[in-house]
Amino acid sequence: MIRPAVPETFTLAGALLRQHKVVAFPTETVYGLGADATSSEAVANIYACKSRPQFNPLIIHVRDLAQAESFGSFTADALKLAQAFWPGPLTLVLNKQPNCPIDPLALAGMDTIALRVPNHPVARTLLEAVDFPLAAPSANRSGSLSPTTADHVQKSLGDVVPLIIDGGTCDVGLESTILDCTSDTLTILRQGAITQGDIESLLGCDLQTPTDSAIKAPGQLKSHYAPTLPLRLNASHALPGEAWLGFGDNPECTLNLSPTADIKEAARNLFVMLHLLDKPIYTGIAVSPIPHQGLGMAINDRLERAAADRS
């Protein structure tokens, strides 16, 4: 059930979470499906609700840097990044602390941990309401599009999630940037709103982007974030039967990510519009070219994954 973000809802959410249940909640990136990260029963519930393969580790959401430091070992660079970009859409992959109390299933048995402090009032209130961190993948069935509204969550998981907290449409609209900080060379595992340029200018160094052969984030498999219909990228027009997802000045398209070619607006609209166009009345979705710059890199990354051959 969808409930507004009022005090009674947080009381209910706290009670459910303490009973090892899952609660869907908004973050600034996408909606998450949260549960107590220190409880194996709670974490098993997350995987079951999403039908997620158990080898794919979860992001651990914490309320602040101090809480994060009790779970992950911060390098000097990681500390700088956390101080600059938290709370916000950046996930840091660190070596876990020796006595880290996070359930091993949440980390898929790995010695590393992905940590993030979300910057959404609902997520922050929820993290203050309980005394444990929340493991939270995106609140969609495994392999389908990430949800950016409470309604998306309801459609994808409504029958198995006891509570969805409504916080409106997510502001960023794309999942967080994931940065591997476990070695001296930092590597971006997933592009997001904190761009490669943002990180490089803060640290004054060059980043690695992973090659397909060295995938360290299991969720970064090529076919992910997929709508049901096939996607055709860099399209200059729609073929008969196709919906057309435009960008920039384009009066003929079915929906437009941003008529003014504003890349932030396009990111916010991407999953919302893919959800809207992913209907059997169309044979496919043609997508206009999006510039490969800044946040456009993250948008193109999601589009390429969504378009990848799923056979």
Q: Does residue 26 interact with ligand TXA by CB under 6 A?
A: no
Binding residue (CB under 6 A) for ligand TXA from 5, 24, 30, 229: 30
CA distances from 197 to 89, 257, 295, 308 (A): 15, 23, 10, 26
Stretch 202-241 residues interacting with Mg ion (CB under 5 A): none
**Could you tell me which of 36, 31, 10 has the C-alpha nearest to residue 120?**
31
* Pair of tokens at residue 54: 């158990």
Q: Does residue 141 interact with ligand TXA by CB under 6 A?
A: no
Q: Measured between alpha carbons, how far is 229 from 108 in angstroms, rounded to an integer? A: 31
Q: Does residue 298 interact with ligand TXA by CB under 6 A?
A: no
CA distances from 85 to 36, 91, 164, 194 (A): 24, 10, 27, 8
Q: Which is nearer to ligand TXA, 26 or 246 (CB)?
A: 26
What x/- string results for residues 158 through 197 when contact with ligand TXA is judged by CB under 6 A? -----------------xx-x----------x--------
- Report the nearest approach of ligand TXA to the CB of residue 270 (Å): 13
Binding residue (CB under 5 A) for Mg ion from 138, 154, 176, 300: 138
Q: Does residue 43 interact with ligand TXA by CB under 6 A?
A: no
Cβ proximity of 261 and 137 under 8 Å: no
Q: Does residue 58 interact with ligand TXA by CB under 6 A?
A: yes
For residues 10-36, one letter each, b for 16 or more C-beta atoms within 10 angstroms of the residue's C-beta and e for the rest, the string is bebbbebbeeebbbbbbbbbbbbbbbb
Q: Measured between alpha carbons, how far is 157 from 30 in angstroms, rounded to an integer? A: 14
Q: How many residues bind Mg ion (CB under 5 A)?
A: 1
**Could you tell me which of 203, 161, 216 has the C-alpha nearest to residue 17?**
161
Count of beta carbons in the 10 Å neighbourhood of residue 63? 21
Q: Which is nearer to Mg ion, 138 or 256 (CB)?
A: 138
Q: Which is nearer to ligand TXA, 219 or 296 (CB)?
A: 219
Binding residue (CB under 6 A) for ligand TXA from 23, 24, 90, 113: 113
Contact residues toward ligand TXA (CB under 6 A) are: 27, 29-30, 32, 56-59, 91, 93, 110, 112-114, 116, 118, 136-138, 175-176, 178, 189, 216-220
